[in-house]
Structure 1
């Protein structure tokens, strides 16, 4: 299984750090030339590989850590996203009306035609996501929502591998609503920093 993170802002860096902490290789890409952020990637860890967007989208699992407004541009990188898992780690300032009343991840799923979309990692602020997930003998919780049970289970296994505790919330239209932040409408679980014990 190959992994990539699109975006190297605060959330993208925190995700990369989570991979580096466990020695798992992950490609990172932005719209810039990889040479321009190679030193940033190297500072995170040796398993963080700077690459182009065209190379990054070849990964099996792709984390979206860009501004929500930029996701349609990323979606244009491939004509068909079949066989790919997209992890939506984004939040948006768009209002529910601007999104047609849909959860933001449903909008993302429409843009990435054919992909299996999982909402995850967006409910933690970057400064918290950046920390070691081991907390006082417990593990920091990562909520996951998806319309594809297989993708949700695979992402749950990766979350465990990264040292977090996955909690499945169900479909994007149900569980996804609990962890989205859009405009002034926040889901009940957004920005909740919870730790699971046992």
Structure 2
């Protein structure tokens, strides 16, 4: 399984740190050329490799660590997203619900990535919290996952565990997933909740 992070701002770098902490290879890309990302990537760790957007999109699982309004631009980079899993870390705070056709923001994002399986996840924590070690005092920091395709959750939950997090499946995007999605200028009730789960 190969992994990429599209977007190398605060959230993208926080995710890259999670991969580096566990020595898991990840490709990073942004609108900036790879050579501009290289110093930050090298500072994070040797398993973080900057590449062009096209090269990064060859990965099996792709984190969208960009602003919500940038997702159509990334979606246009490939004609067919079949076989890809997209982890949507975006937050559509401030976007009027009518601009989303009445859909949860992640369901709206999913429409742009035709053929991909989309999982909402890793979006409810601020970058500073996400960047810290998720293993604390015998527990693991929770990440909430939701998707309209149940089989998409399993590989993302496995990755979350590998990275040291405790995945919690909220179900479908418009059901439990609504708890981690902004609607207009209202945050979902689980956004910013920094929770831990004890090891079994």
Common fold: TM-score over 0.5:
yes
Any idea what the Cα deviations from partners look like across 1:45-85, whole Å, max 9, x if unmatched? Answer: 00000000010111000000011110000000100101000
Structure 2: tracts of 5 or more residues without a match? none
**Could you tell me which residue of structure 1 aligns to residue 196 of structure 2?**
195
CA distance in 1, matches of 2:183, 2:191: 10
Q: CA deviation at 1:95?
A: 2.0
Is the counterpart of residue 49 in structure 1 residue 52 in structure 2? Answer: no
The equivalent of 1:97 in structure 2 is 98
Aligned twin of 2:177: 176
Tell me the matched-pair count.
Answer: 198
SS of corresponding position for 2:97: coil
1:78 aligns with 2:75: no
Stretches of 4+ moved more than 2 A in 1?
Answer: none
Q: CA deviation at 1:182?
A: 4.0
Alpha-carbon distance in structure 2 between the residues aligned to 1:124 and 1:182? 17
**TM-score, normalised relative to structure 2:** 0.97
Alignment of 1:123-134 (within 5 A): 123-134=124-135
Q: String of CA shifts for 1:100-148, please: whole Å, max 9, x gaps.
A: 2211100110000000000000001111001100112110000000111
| Shift, 1:173, TM fit | 1.4
- Aligned residue for 1:188, secondary structure, equals coil
| Range that drifts further, 22-31 or 171-180 | 171-180
SS of 2:99's partner is coil
Q: What is the rounded CA distance, in whole Å, between the counterparts of 1:182 and 1:75 in structure 2?
A: 22
TM-score, L = length of structure 1: 0.98
Q: Which one is further off, 7-16 or 95-104?
A: 95-104
Deviation at 1:33, TM superposition (A): 0.9
